Structure 1
Amino acid sequence: MMTEPHRVQGLNNDDVAADWPAISTGELAWLKGRYLQLGSSNQLRWHSPRPLSAAAIASGSDVDVFIKRHHHSVRSAACLQEEHRFMAHLRAGGIPVSQVLPDRDGNTAIEHGDWTYELHAVGVGSDLYRDAPSWTLLTNTHQAAEAGRMLARLHQAAASYHAPQRSTHLLVARDDLIRSADPIAALKLTLPQRPALARYLARIPWEAELQRHVLPWHQGLAQRLAQEPRLWAHNDWHVSNLLWTQDGSDPHIGTVMDFGLASPTSALFDLATAIERNAVAWLQLEQGARAVRTDIALALLQGYRQVLPLSAARVHLLADLLPMVHFDFALSEVEYFEGITGSTANADVAWQPFMLGHPIWFNSPPGQSLLQALHAAA
């Protein structure tokens, strides 16, 4: 049993107190009554340092079990099942997605008190990046190419999956506003249903800041994205969400995890997100050119194109989408911190260095160099 307060990764790669309490042995005892896969397990062997939910690993009857718990205001059981149906489709299509475990009644997500739970079988492979926060650079080009190939395979399997848009904006990566001809007008239409986001934006000159720093990158994007088919996508393709196996000297992906940000976006959106997540050290931009790994970005792209060819026009669109790919999710994080955890300081981080800071960086010499390299790869 844990005796010290649970600590997690903060937004600045720091060690902070968790917003959500660690999963307890009391919760494990209750879950054992619902999940036969837990068997006689009575020990939690590891607690996740991720900050937006609580997660732990317990020893199950046949396999180790990954337990993830969300506050009900962030994920309902019905909302989680949107992810789980997509994952089941991918598994049926041969993608090594982590297996969601059903409870005794066949439910893949259950609610209890203030919480919503989901359980997964721990996947095949080593979690090489278990302690790596998002925005941590991927430094191995062989792994980057393999990640690109697996992402393309996932998109091939996803092409036959059709389901509506997610039922929530919270902590989901969508591209609705990016696809809109007028993102500000489109955002205003959603604010009556998003009171926390509306409350935060009312305190700042958000329209002027978006017009100045973000929307210049949007020029012409909506018309070009209209030609991109909607595709359910992972939308958080960071190496910390992949388990790795070793076949000789070549790394291979054994398991794809964490579909919490999944939604219908597009293949290019997912690939641009992978580049943003893995090739730019967003928390170390003071390092200048050393904060970006263009070779990682190009290896991701090359690996992807080995499985799914991309025309020159689509690679140019990929590069032009990159400075905007964070747009909808940044707003989602502002909404989460303002409305769920009540942290104005974290909401400010989501708005300033995330929403505004990313497109500003793409105007810098290192950012321009990355975009030019992607355009050249077309």
Structure 2
Amino acid sequence: MMAQTANLGHGMGENPETKDWLDISSHDLCQLQQLYPQLSGQQTILWRSPRPFSAALLLQVDAQVYFVKRSSRLFRRVQDLQQEHQLIRYLDAQGIAVPQILHAHDGATAVELGEWSYEVHEKAHGVDPYANQISWKPFFYAEHAAKAGKKLAELHLAAKYYPVTQGRGAKQLISNQDLLESENIHLAILQRIQNSPALSAYFADKVLDSVWLNQLATVHEKIKRTIQQAPKIWTHNDFHASNLLWSDSSDAAEISMVIDFGLADRCSAIYDLAVAIERNFIDWLALEQGPDLYIDEAGLAAFVQAYIAQAGFSSALEMLPELIKIVHSDFALSELEYFVGITQNFKHADAAYYDWMIAHTAWFFQPQGQQFCQKLAQLIQPYRMLEP
């Protein structure tokens, strides 16, 4: 059921908006107690997440604290969540600090109640200085960015031998490189629209922006062979400051845990790296005020250098300055489909198309965007020259 309350959370811009999903209620928690015996006891809600796409909270039960997350079954079924949980358990076994997932009374790590899918985690260890930070804002310190770059490399190295070779089962609100792997990105977009009732309805009275399509095609021709040949691993695909927990709030803090694998899928490391850069170092939310955005150059340099130092140099890195221009396209199209077909929020749908898909790509063809790509190339160049 869509929310009609005044509860506010993150939207598509900088200002809080009414949440698309109702908060988890006391009645919901009572029902959940019947499936998770760990939730039986005196319950106190400590915090509600402002993040979109789901409803989530921290719940204290007697002396224990749990993270409870609820998603609509329209786009996250139990088997979709269990796919995430299997990856999380594997990364945990490889020494990556990730949330501990609770099992329901039947042994399952996710349950369905009515129209919802639920998962319950132990409270993640660490401090969350970015708890209320919107995804598109930079790290508070370059030192944090460096720790994050190293951690992303560690994730990629840990996932290298994950034996699951089938990709994500979920078809809605996903992040992957399918469009980028296509032979013709324009035709791939048209096919995606044709196969989706929601996208077909949205574009029924629209002509796809020709300038945008030409920009996509120009970049895609340069990177498609490399992205097609890049080795596949399971990647996070939503690696930004607010999906990390820290030992404390200082600039010297260490990362204590990586959270929220809701967009994980089988992609390439270079795709995940490009997504992380695009999400963390460009202040996209200021784009409506003009093309000159705040760029966290110190954080960008620290992040990229720390990543390469940990993961090593790969020839695929050389396409990063081009890939970054269109890496957002697949998720933005998926987000658009979600807004039209599931939440029916057409204001958000228009933002996904005009402000994210089109305007983000266009920015990279403007002077500041070109300078950003040149900066990326300069950061990578010394490592390429060190290769034998």
Which TM-score bucket, shorter chain as reference? over 0.9
How far apart are the structure 2 equivalents of 1:282 and 1:249? 24
The within-5 A match list for 1:5-84 is 5-60=6-61, 63-84=64-85
Q: TM-score, normalised by structure 1?
A: 0.94
The within-5 A match list for 1:95-134 is 95-134=96-135
CA distance 1:45–1:186, shift in 2 (3 Å): same
Contact 1:171 1:260 (8 Å CA) reproduced: no
- Return 139-148 or 220-229, whichever deviates more: 220-229
CA distance 1:82–1:367, shift in 2 (3 Å): same
The within-5 A match list for 1:128-207 is 128-161=129-162, 162-206=164-208
Q: Gaps spanning 5+ residues in structure 2: where?
A: 381-388
Tell me which amino acid in the other structure corresponds to 2:118.
Y
Q: Partner residue of 2:383?
A: none
CA distance 1:294–1:215, shift in 2 (3 Å): farther
- How many angstroms does 1:310 deviate by? 1.6
- How many angstroms does 1:351 deviate by? 0.3
Residue by residue over 1:32-87, the C-alpha shift from the partner in whole angstroms, topping out at 9 and shown as x without a partner, is 12112223032212111112111111013553111111111021111111111111
Residue by residue over 1:211-253, the C-alpha shift from the partner in whole angstroms, topping out at 9 and shown as x without a partner, is 2343322122111112211111000011100000149962111
Q: Partner residue of 2:311?
A: 308
- Return 33-42 or 102-111, whichever deviates more: 33-42
How far apart are the structure 1 equivalents of 2:61 and 2:217? 49
Residue of 213, 217, 220 corresponding to 1:218:
220
How far apart are the structure 1 equivalents of 2:63 and 2:181? 45
Tell me which amino acid in the other structure corresponds to 1:291.
Y
Aligned residues: 374
- Return 366-375 or 284-293, whichever deviates more: 284-293
How far apart are the structure 1 equivalents of 2:352 and 2:293? 23
Contact 2:10 2:17 (8 Å CA) reproduced: yes
How far apart are the structure 1 equivalents of 2:102 and 2:211? 45
How far apart are the structure 1 equivalents of 2:237 and 2:16? 25
Instruction: Give the 3-state SS of the residue equivalent to 2:254 in structure 1.
Output: strand
How far apart are the structure 2 equivalents of 1:296 and 1:179? 29
Q: Partner residue of 1:236?
A: 238
Contact 1:91 1:97 (8 Å CA) reproduced: yes
The within-5 A match list for 1:355-374 is 355-374=357-376
Instruction: Give the 3-state SS of the residue equivalent to 1:75 in structure 2.
Output: coil
Residue by residue over 1:11-34, the C-alpha shift from the partner in whole angstroms, topping out at 9 and shown as x without a partner, is 112122111111111111111121
Q: Partner residue of 1:274?
A: 276
Superposed CA RMSD: 1.8
Q: Partner residue of 2:384?
A: none
Q: Gaps spanning 5+ residues in structure 1: where?
A: none
How far apart are the structure 1 equivalents of 2:366 and 2:171? 31
How far apart are the structure 1 equivalents of 2:184 and 2:346? 27
What percent of counterpart residues are identical? Answer: 36
CA distance 1:297–1:253, shift in 2 (3 Å): same
Q: TM-score, normalised by structure 2?
A: 0.92
- Return 57-66 or 14-23, whichever deviates more: 57-66
Residue by residue over 1:289-347, the C-alpha shift from the partner in whole angstroms, topping out at 9 and shown as x without a partner, is 55111221221111111211124x33221221101110110110110000001111111
The within-5 A match list for 1:228-377 is 228-246=230-248, 250-285=252-287, 286=289, 289=292, 291-311=294-314, 313-377=315-379
